[in-house]
Structure 1
Amino acid sequence: MSTLYIVATPIGNLEDLTLRAVRVLGEVPVVVAEDTRVTRKILDHIDSSSKIVSFHRRSTKSDVHRIVRHLDNGDIALVSDAGTPGVNDPGQAIVAAAVALGHDVVPLPGASSIMAALSVSGLYVDQFISHGFLPATGGKRRRLLNAVAQEPAASVFFETPHRLRDALVDMAAVMPVRGLVICRELTKLHEEIWRGMAAEALDHFDSPRGEFAIVVAPLERGEAAASSISEDDASEVINSAAAALRNRYESRRDLVEAVAKKTGLPRRQVYQTLHREG
């Protein structure tokens, strides 16, 4: 039987193409791709003359069978426009069909915007959930974000520049004190890694450009309990604790730590409340 190679491609910087990927993409006669124009640039960069066959989200079951038949004649490769095939792209249908026919499927690991965003987040992410692109409509987006707000694991989203601010408005309403790491144009010339909360992000990204990956911090200890009480009640608890402890601490940072420990509320929420109250 033949081999279907699952080849990760760069998410923005061609130097991230692995040596193994260069070799395989130069050897296989056929490369299955989402956008043939994008993949042609990669193949031209490595002087590969492999034939490119298109497969995308609008492709049909007959297209799957047509593509898998190429394995009857030898090994082929599957690529994504950017990143790892089969993750937030239609490539899994090709993989499933190849497996069903008894062909070998071999991964060639490489770039992944999800893993890149998590790796620079500075967050503890032994568990995470990838949601792909946030829903375009407000109601669906808010329902998903409400679920994420109760999720103890970190979450990762993709967002487009023209929808970013709408998403941040919803995040500010649903999870106002949850930490975010917003990665713009990962591995590209204008790469930016921004950290803060949704309301702060709205001030920073006033005219969004580029592609965005958003990491939502995992739920802090005590944050789940905080979500069950109103903001006014939480503010009262925080201010009461701060009044009792203020004379013991010279720095605002130490006071925030002490109040968070005493109340069981997140440090971020304590800081915001005390900052707001002056």
Structure 2
Amino acid sequence: MIRQSFVETKPTLYLISTPIGNLKDITLRALETLKTVQVIFAEDTRNTLKLLSHYEISKPVKSYHEHNKVSAGQEILKHLENGDSVGLVTDAGTPAISDPGFEVVQLVKDHFPVVPIPGASAVLAALVASGLVPQPFTFFGFLDRTVSKRQLALNKLSGLPHTLVFYERGDRVKETLGDMKLVLGNRLVVLAKELTKQFETFYEGDIETLLNSDIHEKGEFVILVSGKAESATSSGDILTDVKEYVLLGYTEKEAIKKVASELGVHKNEVYQQVVKAGGIKK
């Protein structure tokens, strides 16, 4: 089956990305779409009404969330059948990632166009600023609250060489880090919070260091964990990689940091290998 979004003029379901913090992080296309749809369905109508008020947009706003997604999905379909285009938004970011939306897309997509309106993403904002290898990466979302299920999920991810990305509530972040250390080992981790806001903060270090650090736990975090280092990586491989970067003009410190990031190991491990070798000579 082929779906083409703009071949014919039909009522459309728009998945509209909204700011994750800073209200300026909304696209011109998103604003235009919010103005042109007949009705907006939102995870939290109060938050969405604040956004619409900020941009002086007046539209009917109805509720679509985890607890009413079946009935609200049917209501969305009915609006489309009656000729109304519908905008779907979440509290922050893109609908259907860690919030409801997947189900209504499945319900609608074979009958009406479903058009994504891209925008701010906490996953990508955290990933590109983390300093960890950005690709490939594996996004998991929220881990289960139950310790056993959380550890089981981490165990299934433990062998991946990809950067792992999770969402977590602040009051559970250290408990989750503890499980990560137990299951994944003492890997390099970056915690990102308050993204795009005034107090945007990145906590960086190995898991043990962060467990012993003073972390302001209010709010939600993006947790980024380095992937499993390939077992074939030897001290000789590390030194060869560092030397190659030095020959390209990087300082020894810069080369160590890049190699550590690429191999998914702590930079101190690379540094120790360089020290044992007596440094890198051009």
TM range (shorter): 0.7 to 0.9
CA distance in 1, matches of 2:118, 2:178: 36
**Is 1:5 aligned to residue 22 of structure 2?**
no
TM (normalized to structure 2)? Answer: 0.77
CA distance in 1, matches of 2:151, 2:107: 36
**Is 1:89 aligned to residue 103 of structure 2?**
no
| 3-state SS, counterpart of residue 14 of structure 1 | coil
Q: What is the 5 A alignment of 1:165-180?
A: 165-180=174-189
Q: What is the 5 A alignment of 1:210-229?
A: 210-222=219-231
| 3-state SS, counterpart of residue 16 of structure 1 | coil
Identity %, equivalent residues: 38
TM (normalized to structure 1)? Answer: 0.78
Q: What is the 5 A alignment of 1:182-197?
A: 182-197=191-206
Q: What is the 5 A alignment of 1:129-148?
A: 129-148=138-157
CA distance in 1, matches of 2:264, 2:171: 34
Q: What is the 5 A alignment of 1:189-268?
A: 189-222=198-231, 266=265
- CA deviations over 1:228-276 (Å, ceiling 9, x no partner): xxxxxxxxx99xxxxxxxxxxxxxx89xx8xx9xxx99555846999xx
Match of 2:29 in 1: 20
2:84 to 74, 77, 87: 74
Bigger helix fraction: 1
**Is 1:153 aligned to residue 158 of structure 2?**
no
- CA deviations over 1:112-170 (Å, ceiling 9, x no partner): 11111111122222222211112112111122222222112111101111111111111
- CA deviations over 1:185-220 (Å, ceiling 9, x no partner): 111121101221111111224452221001111222
Match of 2:246 in 1: none
Code of the aligned partner of 1:112: S
| 3-state SS, counterpart of residue 204 of structure 1 | coil
Match of 2:38 in 1: 29
**Is 1:98 aligned to residue 101 of structure 2?**
no
Given the superposition, is the C-alpha separation of residues 97 and 114 from structure 1 closer, same or farther in structure 2, using an over 3 Å criterion?
A: same
Code of the aligned partner of 1:49: S
Query: What are structure 2's unaligned runs of at least 5 residues?
Result: 1-9, 236-251, 274-282
Code of the aligned partner of 1:139: S
Given the superposition, is the C-alpha separation of residues 18 and 265 from structure 1 closer, same or farther in structure 2, using an over 3 Å criterion?
A: closer
CA distance in 2, matches of 1:167, 1:270: 24
CA distance in 2, matches of 1:24, 1:162: 36
Match of 2:242 in 1: none
Query: What are structure 1's unaligned runs of at least 5 residues?
Result: 227-236, 239-252
- CA deviations over 1:23-46 (Å, ceiling 9, x no partner): 111222201111101111111111
Match of 1:247 in 2: none
CA distance in 2, matches of 1:99, 1:80: 19
How many residues were matched structurally? 241
Code of the aligned partner of 2:21: G
Match of 1:117 in 2: 126
RMSD: 2.7
2:51 to 36, 42, 55: 42
Given the superposition, is the C-alpha separation of residues 42 and 266 from structure 1 closer, same or farther in structure 2, using an over 3 Å criterion?
A: closer
